Structure 1
Amino acid sequence: MTIAEHYRRFAELEAHGVSGIYEDWALGVAGDPVVQALVGGLPPAKRQPNLVFAAARSHGAPLGSYGNVRPWLLANWQRVDPVIRTRSTQTNEAGRCAVLLPQLAAVEGPVALLEVGASAGLCLYPDRYGYTYQGADGTVRLNPPQAADVLLECELRGGATAPARLPEVVWRAGIDLNPLDVADPVSLRWLQTLIWPEHEARRRRLHAAAAVVAADPPLLVAGDLNKELEKLARQAPPEATLVVFHSAVLAYLTPPERQQFVDRVGALDCIWLSNEGRQVLPEITARIPHRTPHRTKPQDGAFVLARNGVPVGLTGPHGQYTQSLS
């Protein structure tokens, strides 16, 4: 896929209807050979629109039309380039807990959570957040015993049902190439920059969730997920059900690395929850029933939520909605 195709696809599948600014910027880059040449000078893994745009914003790129940001980008590329090369897209969206929660709540007894691609670990606290599920039958609210400073809202679609309870999480750990500490202002500022420009509610949620994590930090291990998975899994308490999960992570692995991970997680005594774009694990996407809207609306940007390799739902990339496949 060329840089132009990649940025156009991002505009149409991910940014459209979600961020007008990023949609405009991505379409602008898709039609701009000069900026494409700058992006092409980066390592292939560093050319993602999310990363390039966040790096630019971290140095003060003006929000607004591509026509405004283009001259700034050309004049400041020497400052932006090092940020792209040293940083990564570690978006840590606590809102994704809302689409994972129904699966976690279905696990009986204590749960041990292990997240791969954990970033700062905000998704390791589904039991500490409050939830509002809105569906055709009304609204369901769930709150932890302690007052929740984080409220996650999720729309129920296509017969999806809200969970009846919060899980009993007794252990939480994560793996990331570069775990972020939310108590570090620099790391927190980068997480904030990764949130798309118009999403002010997500920025407020980030800070509220970061406070939860900072008060009770999880075990975060720096390393390659394929090298650290089994070792970290062995540390989970044996009396708990181990749940290995990830959201918007495997796209950053090569196809052989993804298959290696699938093989490794499949060999563990665990429940595996994957929440990824439909192109990331095509063998799972191929199992979606033909009657679902997935087959008729291929450009809705939905993720595929699967349990042990079996698709169970389509979800909003930031946890906005969950749609049942049953």
Structure 2
Amino acid sequence: MRPDSLAARYLRFARTEARGRSAIYEILARHVAQSPRVLAFLDRLPPDRQQPNLLFAAMRLVAGTPASPDAFDAAIADQAEAIAGIMRTRTTQTNEPGRCAVLLPALARIEGPLALIEVGASAGLCLLPDAYGYDWGHQTLAPPERFTASAPVLACAATPNTPLPSRHPEIVWRAGLDLNPLDASKDEDVAWLEHLIWPEHHERLARLRKAIAIARSERPRVEAGDLRRDLPDLIAAAPRDATVVVFHTAVLSYVAQQHDRDAFAESMMNDPRVFWLSNESPRVFPRSAAAAGQVHDDMFLLTGNGEPLAWTGPHGQEIRWLW
């Protein structure tokens, strides 16, 4: 990726993702876009290791959270190799359980029982939507009794027309697929997940830790594999008497080629066993975004079998049902 393209990428991140959500990340992203030294550092990394979230999380893991652009530059100067080493070996695997709050209204509309398969599952925290509590502002759903003391309650602002469920869906089987699964029982993997949470997002960090505690006891199955090759075997392993729901959130943007994304979408919609839920940036499936009306670049688009359902906050903080 050319340095000018990298600069544009970081400016877009500052404008559409960090603004209003993380003041320090907005400042740092704009600084990176104007810094020949940092752009040259990024240009030495593989193209799939240059994204803002990966850089900032690696920086914080190695050197702590920089308080200013000057502190950021000092960390790059002093610990460039250590930061680059993290960026080469780790990937952006933000496992945000809060996204379950925007997935649950769609899951509750699908005839069950359900067999969940998450593509890009990371540590599998989003495979446990039936273990969490929910607060949509004008309606709540308490966590199941056995998790009452430990479960996070996920806050999400929902528009009045959102079809909010009054009970958790019946999930009888669940599995995840990830190129590099993380293990909630490993401290080093948990440390990486925690540093992927943005610095000011203290509530997100608290609910992540609660979700990790549940995952350590429930141990959701997450297989190593590629969605383009290994998903059919996982679908075949699901119980025959359950509706298979394949879902993903903030994953397909890492599949670089549009024709690969479209081929994946076609395979999902042509599989008679599968109900497919996608919660991605509107840039991932432009045709679905066009069908949703006005495009919101700072939000994700939730679709069911390719049909637009709702605009959602990237971290599950809000849902705007469309119809």
Q: Aligned partners of 2:262, 2:141: CA distance in 1, in Å?
A: 38
Whether the 8 Å contact between 1:111 and 1:170 is mirrored in structure 2 is yes
Q: CA deviation at 1:163?
A: 1.6
Match of 1:224 in 2: 226
CA deviations 1:252-281 (Å, max 9, x no partner) are 002232122112212222110000001011
SS of 1:91 mapped into structure 2: coil
Tell me whether 1:31 sits opposite 2:34 in the alignment: yes
Which of 270, 275, 282 is the aligned partner of 1:271? 275
Deviates more, 1:149-158 or 1:268-277: 149-158
What code does the residue aligned with 2:279 have? N
Partner of residue 308 from structure 2, selected from 306, 311, 319: 311
Quote how far apart the aligned CAs of 1:324 are.
Answer: 1.0
Match of 1:144 in 2: 144
Which residue of structure 1 lines up, in the alignment, with residue 24 of structure 2?
21
- Kindly state the Cα deviation for residue 221 of structure 1 after the two structures are TM-superposed: 1.1
Q: Look up the SS of the partner of 1:89 in the other structure.
A: coil
Secondary structure class of the residue paired with 1:286: helix
Deviation readout 1:180-226 (Å, 9 max, x if unpaired): 11000110111001111111111111111011111121221101111
Distance 2:163 2:305 in 1: 20
- Correspondence for 2:318 among 316, 321, 326: 321
The residue that corresponds to 1:156 in the other structure is 158
**Pair 1:62–1:247, CA change in 2 (3 A):** closer
Relative to structure 1, the CA distance from residue 62 to residue 119 in structure 2 (aligned partners, 3 Å threshold; closer, same or farther) is closer
One-letter amino acid of the structure 1 residue matched with residue 70 of structure 2: G
Alignment map for 1:87-166 (pairs within 5 Å): 87-134=90-137, 138-148=138-148, 149-157=151-159, 159-166=161-168
Q: Conserved in 2, the CA contact under 8 Å of 1:142 and 1:166?
A: no
Question: What is the CA RMSD across the aligned residues, in angstroms?
Answer: 1.4
Q: Give deviations 1:22-56, integer Å, cap 9, x for gaps.
A: 11100000111111111111111100000011111
- Give the stretch that moved more between structures: 207-216 or 69-78: 69-78
1:178-257 correspondence to structure 2 within 5 Å:
178-254=180-256, 255-257=258-260
Identity of aligned residues (%): 44
Query: 1:96 touches 1:319 (CA, 8 Å); kept in 2?
Result: yes
Q: State the shift of 1:158 in Å.
A: 6.0
Structure-1 separation of matches of 2:200 and 2:225: 33
Tell me which residue corresponds to 2:287. Answer: 283
Amino acid aligned to 1:275:
N
The secondary structure found in structure 2 opposite 1:59 is helix
> Contact 2:65–2:199 at 8 Å: present in 1 too?
no
> Does the aligned pair in 1 maintain the 2:252–2:284 contact within 8 Å?
yes
Amino acid at match of 1:39: L
Please name the residue that 2:79 is paired with. Answer: 76
| Runs of 4 or more consecutive aligned structure 1 residues displaced over 4 Å after TM superposition | none
In structure 1, distance between residues paired with 2:147 and 2:190: 23
Contact persistence 1:114–1:243 (CA under 8 A): yes
- For the residues of structure 2 that align with 1:65 and 1:238, how far apart are their CA atoms? 55
* Secondary structure class of the residue paired with 1:166: coil
Q: Report if the CA contact (8 A) 2:132-2:152 is conserved.
A: yes
Aligned residue runs from structure 1 range 56-75, under 5 A: 56-75=59-78
CA contact (8 A) 2:105 2:162 kept: no
Query: Which of 265-274 and 304-313 deviates more?
Result: 265-274
For structure 1, the residue ranges without an aligned partner over 5 or more in a row are none
